[in-house]
Amino acid sequence: MNLGSLLHGSSRPASPTGRTIGTPRMYDLVTTVLFAGRRRQAFSALAVASGARTGDRILDVGCGTGYFVRMLAEIAGPPGSVVGVDAAPEMIAHASSRSRSAANVSFEVGSAGALSFPGASFDVVVSSLTMHHVAPAEQLAAVQEMRRVLRPGGTLLIAEFQAPTGHAWKLLLGPTGLTAMGHAVPHVEALVATVGFTEIRRASVPPVLQYVRATNARQAGSA
């Protein structure tokens, strides 16, 4: 099984609800290799870009093994909280077992297109390496849900894989099919604009990420 199979599910049918494919431990191993030893550095940069602060209520949609959730929990601290949602029960079970020492962390099984939380529940919503697992027909609904649960003025950050340039990377990633994902972020950027987010910007995080950061526009009459 190659890298593309592990990340994108060619080993078994992809789920329309966006289930993460592969065992939790193998997924963590493969992503560690994919980030060339810079996984923590990359996700630290994403955390900074999200604007997460002490005391924030944060949601990670498509949290996988909870790697980013645990990092964000360090920022939110005891006054804040971080919730991780993933469509794959095995990922949630693994993430929960890895996060027992973090009192401000919780996880639940759920779909990106039908989040269980009330409106305006979170200060920050993040989603990393997840949108490409959501069926194209469901992606707009997923972004709409992210906006619904985000408070007015809150921040959304969606990160996706961006194939790096360079001959060595092309040789490494060519057989996996991952180089075809280079247009994921521009596509997400358009979705974010469509549902009404403002202050939208796109940026890269080496070696293999791009993200879209946006603000949930305050409704008329909001404080």
| Residue 173 confidence (pLDDT) | 52
pTM over 0.85: no
- Do the beta carbons of residue 183 and residue 163 sit within 8 Å? no
Backbone angles phi, psi at 37, to 5 degrees: 80, 5
Domain ranges of the chain: 3-156
User: What does the pLDDT look like over 121-133, one tens digit per residue?
Assistant: 999 999 999 998 8
Right CATH for 3-156 from 3.40.50.150, 3.30.160.150, 3.40.1190.20, 3.40.50.720: 3.40.50.150
pLDDT value of position 186: 79
Give the containing element (helix H, strand E) for 74. helix 67-76
Beta strands in 62-196 (DSSP E): 81-86, 105-109, 122-128, 150-161
Q: Residue 128: which residues within 8 A CB-CB, separation 6 or more?
A: 43, 46, 60, 62, 68, 158, 159, 160, 209, 211
Strands 209-216 and 122-128: unpaired
Q: Average pLDDT, stretch 20-32?
A: 74
Q: What is the pLDDT of residue 2?
A: 37
Backbone angle region of 153, left / alpha / beta, with phi > 0 → left and psi within -120 to 50 → alpha: left
pLDDT tens digits for 136-167?
999 999 999 999 999 999 999 999 987 665 55
Under DSSP, the state recorded for 207 is T
